[in-house]
Amino acid sequence: MKKTKITLIPAIDILGGKCVRLEQGDYSRETVYSDDPVSQALKWRDEGAEIIHIVDLDGAKKGLPVNIGIIEKMIKAVGIPCEIGGGIRTCETATKFAEIGAARVIFGTAAIQDPDIIQKFLQGHPEKTVLGIDAKNGMVAVKGWLELHSVTVKELSAKFAEMGVIRFIYTDIATDGMLAGPNYKEISNFCDNVPTAAVIASGGISSVENIMELARLGKPNLEGAIVGKALYSGKISLKEAIEKLR
């Protein structure tokens, strides 16, 4: 099977102004890794990150941006692309993140509740539009992973690919933050379901070998992998992993 090039994307999740990681999206299972998100972003940049994945967990829970000031400082400090998610449920909010310099804006819950929000943002920012699909047992999770929706992952992804979304982030909640390896089968199926769009995998990555295995899936539209807890716990060195993947 032909390997595909996978870009390693370090994640910074912000809760209460601090860098944290959650296990399986559970807000009660939180580990704080840094009190300074800006310094953390600079660390990942200096270790070779090409893009940083930033999530406002407070925003995801409340349904509106909470840490936008911190995120703007991060974007300006690092000088590399940043993709932003968490609490982006209106076109106005998405536009605000685009205006402060976000390279990509990630929609989640809003996509299910009001698809017109994404359609409107797509018209002005097609390259910045990302749909984050959080999955559990083939179903879509919403509101910061606190609820399961009746729509399936397959139905939702196909619908928005047809609408014109060119990039998806697929997160498997069952593996996220557990360091037990990605759900390769579901990632592969997801890539096949949106063959014309780029896919970024998230959840469960605990080693460079996990990332190599994603590359060995041979999916040409699988462009990246988001890594969080494995970096913070020291299981993966970002600098060494990037060099190995080259």
Q: Which positions are catalytic?
A: 13, 134
Q: Are strands 104-107 and 82-85 parallel, antiparallel or unpaired?
A: parallel
CA angle at residue 63 from 59 to 66, to 5 degrees?
Answer: 30
Measuring CA to CA, which residue among 64, 53, 22 is closest to residue 173?
22
Residue 137's region, left for phi above 0, alpha for psi from -120 to 50, else beta, is left
Tokens for 9? 């994307």
Tokens for 37? 């998100």
**Chain mean position to CA 61:** 16
Q: How far apart (Å, rounded) are the C-alpha atoms in residues 97 and 184?
A: 32
Phi and psi of 197, rounded to 5°? -115, 155
Residues 6+ apart with CB under 8 A from 109: 63, 89, 142, 143, 144
Measuring CA to CA, which residue among 78, 15, 20, 19 is closest to residue 49?
78
Q: Give just the sign of the alpha carbon dihedral 28, 114, 189, 1.
A: negative
Q: How far apart (Å, rounded) are the C-alpha atoms in residues 97 and 182?
A: 29
